Amino acid sequence: MNKQLSIKKWKIFKLPPVIYMLLCLVIIFSIATPQYLSFQNIKNILMQSSTLMILAFGQTLVVLTQGTDLSIGAQVSMVTVAWITLARKGVPLPVGAIIVLLLTSCVGIINGLLVAKGKMPPFIATFGMQNVINSFTLLLTAGAAVTYSSNIFLIITESSLFGIKAPVFIAAGIFAVTWVILNRTKFGMGIFGLGGNPEALALAGVNTVKVTVKAYAYAGLLAGVAGLLTACRVESGQPTAGAGLEFESIAATLLGGTSMREGRGNVTNTIFGVLLLSVVRNGLNVVGITAVYQSAIIGIIMLSAIIIDSLARQSQERN
C-alpha cells in the first residue's frame, strides 16, 4: 500500500510521451542549427504557437467530453474576415470584436446542440458546420482578402514585456482561465464526468446537455479570440487564415494525452502538444526547408507522433 503510493509520487514515469518527443526534436534541431536555442528563436516559437495554443485549449475541453470540433479553423477564418469587414463598414474595432465573439459563441452553441440534443456524431456535425462557415466567409467578401489598417493591431501584436509579446500573454491568460474552469468549477467537473462516466453524471442530476453545449460554446469563443489575434497579425481578413487549424488543434490535444473516450486529460499537457507542432514548423524553417515541403513533412511528423503516442499508451495500459 505505502509502497504503491511512493511509486505514484514518481510522476516522471507518468509523463505523456509528447514531452520526450518534444525533447528529442529540440535536441535534433539544436544540433542541426546552433542558433536554434537562442532566446530570439524561443520567443518566435512562443509567438507563433500562441494562436494554436488558444484554439487547442478550447479543443481540449471538447475532446474531454468525447467530442471534437472540426469547425474552429473555419471560425478563425470567419472572424478575421468578418471583423475586418465590419471595421471597413465603420464599426469600431472593439465593438466589432464583441460582435464576432458573440457570433462564434453562437456557432459553438449550435454545434453543442447538434451533438447533445441531435445525438449526431460530433465530427460530422462540426464537419458540416465547417463548410457552412467557410461558405459564409467566402460570401462576405466574394472570396477576396480584405485589408484595414489601425494602430490597434500593432499595439496588440507588438507591445511587449521583458521582450515577450502580448499574444503570448493573452495565451497564458487564457490558459489560466481554462485551467480554472476545468479544475475549479462545476462546469469543469461536468466535463470530466461526461468523458469518464456520463451515466453517473446524469444519475447525480447534472444536465449533460448543458455541459456539452457550454464546452462547444467555449471552444467557439476561444476560436473567436484566436481569430482576432490572427487578424491583428496579418492586418487583414483572409478567408483561408484558419484552414487546417482545427486538425492541428486536435492533434495537439491528442498528443497532450487527452483521451477521446475516457475523460482523461488536462489542459497543461496540451501546451506541450502545441509546442511540439510549433517546434517542428519552426525547426523546418530554421533548417531551411521550403514551404512546399513543409505541409507534407508536418503532416507525417504529426501522424507519426499520434501513432507513437497511441502505441505507447496501449502498452502502458497493458502493464
Partner 1 sequence: MKTGETILSVKGITKLFPGVVALDHVDFDLRVGEVHILVGENGAGKSTLSKCILGAYVPEQGTITLNGTKKSFKSPRDALKEGITAVYQEFTLIPYLSVAQNIFLNREYRKKNGLLDINRMEKESRELLKLINCEHLNVSSHAKDLTIAEQQMVEIAKALSFHPQIIIFDEPTATLSEREVGSLFEQIRKLRASGIGIIYISHKIQEFTQIGDRISVFRDGRKIATFGIHEKSTEEIVNMMVGRNISQVYQRNPNLYSGESLRVEGLCDYKEKVKHADLVVNKGEIVGLAGLVGAGRTELANLIFGIDRRKAGKVYLYGEEVLGKITPGKMVRRHIGFVCEDRKSKGLALKDSVAWNITAVSLRQLFPHGLIRYKKIKNVAESYRERLKIAVPTVQRPCKFLSGGNQQKVVLAKWLSAHVDILILDEPTRGIDMGAKMEIYELMNQLSLEGKSILLISSELPELIGMSDRIYVVHEGRIVHECKRGSAEFNAEDIGAMMLNVYQDAEGKAEWDE
Partner 2 sequence: MSHLLEKTKESRAFYSFLGLIILVIICSLTSSDFSKIENYITIFRQASVLLVLSAGLTAVLILGGIDLSVGATAALVGCTCALLLKAGVPTWAVITIGLCMGAVIGTLNGFLVSIIRLPAFVATYATNWIVKGLAIVIMNGQIIFNLPESFTFIGTGYLFGQMPVLIVIALVVVSICYVLYQKTTIGRDIFSCGSNLEAARYSGIRVKRAQFVAFIMSSMFAGLAGLLMTARLNAAEASMGDSYGLNTVAAVVIGGTSMLGGEGGIIGTMIGSIMLMLITNIMNLLGISSFAQPMIIGLVIIVMVFFDSISRDERKTVRRGVAIPMNVQKRKDDIG
Please give the residue ranges that form the binding site for partner 1 (CB under 8 A).
Answer: 8, 180, 184-186, 189, 192-193, 195-197, 199-201, 203-206, 262-265, 318
- Segment 186 to 245, residues that bind partner 2, using CB under 8 A: 194-195, 197-200, 244
Instruction: Give 245-297 as a DSSP string.
Output: HHHHHHHHHHHTT--SSS----HHHHHHHHHHHHHHHHHHHHHT--HHHHHHH
- Give which of partner 2, partner 1, none residue 210 binds (C-beta under 5 to 8 Å, depending on kind): none
Q: Could you tell me how many residues of this chain bind partner 2 (CB under 8 A)?
A: 56
* Binds partner 2 (CB under 8 A): choice among 9, 142, 315, 317: 142
Pick between residue 122 and residue 167 the one whose CB is nearest to partner 2.
122
Closest distance to partner 1 from the beta carbon of 119 (Å): 16
- Segment 48 to 67, residues that bind partner 2, using CB under 8 A: 66
Closest distance to partner 2 from the beta carbon of 90 (Å): 24
- Segment 8 to 37, residues that bind partner 2, using CB under 8 A: none
Mapped onto helix, strand or coil, the DSSP state of residue 149 is coil
150 in contact with partner 2 (CB under 8 A)? no
Mapped onto helix, strand or coil, the DSSP state of residue 146 is strand
Pick between residue 87 and residue 260 the one whose CB is nearest to partner 2.
260
Q: Do the strands 160-161 and 164-165 form a parallel or antiparallel pair, or are they unpaired?
A: antiparallel
CA distance 83 to 239: 12
Q: Which three cell numbers stand for residue 169?
A: 500573454
- Give which of partner 2, partner 1, none residue 274 binds (C-beta under 5 to 8 Å, depending on kind): none
Q: Do the strands 146-147 and 164-165 form a parallel or antiparallel pair, or are they unpaired?
A: unpaired
Instruction: Give 60-112 as a DSSP string.
Output: HHHHHTT---TTHHHHHHHHHHHHHHHHHTT--HHHHHHHHHHHHHHHHHHHH
Closest distance to partner 2 from the beta carbon of 315 (Å): 12
* CA nearest neighbour of 189 among 169, 204, 176: 204
- Give which of partner 1, partner 2, none residue 158 binds (C-beta under 5 to 8 Å, depending on kind): none
What sign results for the dihedral spanned by CA atoms 188, 193, 195, 198? Answer: negative
Closest distance to partner 1 from the beta carbon of 214 (Å): 14
Pick between residue 32 and residue 204 the one whose CB is nearest to partner 1.
204
122 in contact with partner 2 (CB under 8 A)? yes
Mapped onto helix, strand or coil, the DSSP state of residue 165 is strand
Phi, psi of 121 (to 5 degrees): -60, 130
Pick between residue 107 and residue 191 the one whose CB is nearest to partner 1.
191
92 in contact with partner 2 (CB under 8 A)? no
